[in-house]
């Protein structure tokens, strides 16, 4: 897999709210769509976009909430595995087998489904990388106009 960092010029405002000066950055990682079919051609784009204090706190809180939800999915699956094991008349001294199966299922769902959704949701609140890393599309249209004006001929730095 190749990681590419596009070089852009950013306005000095927060890209999420475009109201406050940007004091921090938020890392956007965008894998190339369709890369699963050609792993040797896989590209990932990493861009640090400017955000303000308020938006950074809001994004971190939203991310934390989604991570807690992931933990609930894993824990709930483990509990269901133990209860299922016991309900179907299995040996009570081997309850850990049901727990292990439930935990394995829960972790699999969390890693393959929940975590990618967390990242995708958080990134979609800010921006996406498009045209093979040549452009950024911001959710905030006011910021998009400012960004486009500064990046008429932004090029990719491999």
Question: Is the residue at 157 inside a domain?
Answer: no
**For residues 143 and 114, what is the distance between their CA atoms, to the nearest angstrom?**
29
- Given a cut of 80, is residue 12 above it in pLDDT? yes
What residue numbers bound the domain in which 88 lies? Answer: 2-150
Q: In total, how many domains does the chain have?
A: 1
Q: Give the pLDDT of residue 34.
A: 44
**For residues 150 and 3, what is the distance between their CA atoms, to the nearest angstrom?**
24
Structure-block tokens of residue 72? 């609930």
Q: In sequence order, what are the residues at sequence separation of 6 or more whose Cβ sits closer than 8 angstroms to the Cβ of residue 142?
A: 18
Question: Is the residue at 119 inside a domain?
Answer: yes
Question: Is the residue at 158 inside a domain?
Answer: no
- Given a cut of 50, is residue 33 above it in pLDDT? no
Question: Is the residue at 28 inside a domain?
Answer: yes
Question: Is the residue at 29 inside a domain?
Answer: yes
Q: Give the pLDDT of residue 157.
A: 44
Q: What does the pLDDT look like over 92-142, one tens digit per residue?
A: 666 667 677 777 777 777 767 666 666 566 667 788 887 777 788 999 999
Question: Is the residue at 155 inside a domain?
Answer: no
SS3 43: strand
Q: Give the pLDDT of residue 5.
A: 65
Question: Is the residue at 156 inside a domain?
Answer: no
* pTM confidence score: 0.63
Question: Is the residue at 127 inside a domain?
Answer: yes
**For residues 52 and 31, what is the distance between their CA atoms, to the nearest angstrom?**
25
Angle at the Cα of 32 from the Cα atoms of 29 and 34, rounded to 5 degrees: 145
């Amino acid at each position: 897999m190749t990681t590419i960092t596009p070089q852009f010029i950013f306005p000095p405002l927060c890209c999420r709210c475009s109201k406050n000066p940007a004091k921090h950055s938020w890392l956007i990682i965008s894998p190339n769509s369709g890369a699963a079919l050609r792993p040797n051609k896989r590209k990932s784009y990493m861009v640090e976009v400017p955000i303000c204090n308020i938006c950074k706190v809001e994004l971190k809180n939203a991310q934390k909430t989604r991570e807690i939800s992931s933990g609930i999915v894993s824990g709930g699956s483990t509990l269901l595995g133990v209860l299922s094991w016991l309900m179907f008349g299995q040996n009570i001294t081997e309850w850990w087998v049901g727990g292990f199966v439930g935990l394995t299922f829960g972790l699999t769902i969390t890693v393959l489904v929940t975590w990618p959704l967390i990242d995708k949701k958080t990134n979609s609140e800010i921006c996406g990388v498009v045209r093979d890393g040549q452009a950024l599309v911001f959710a905030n249209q006011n910021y998009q106009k400012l960004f486009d004006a500064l990046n008429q001929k932004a090029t990719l730095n491999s």
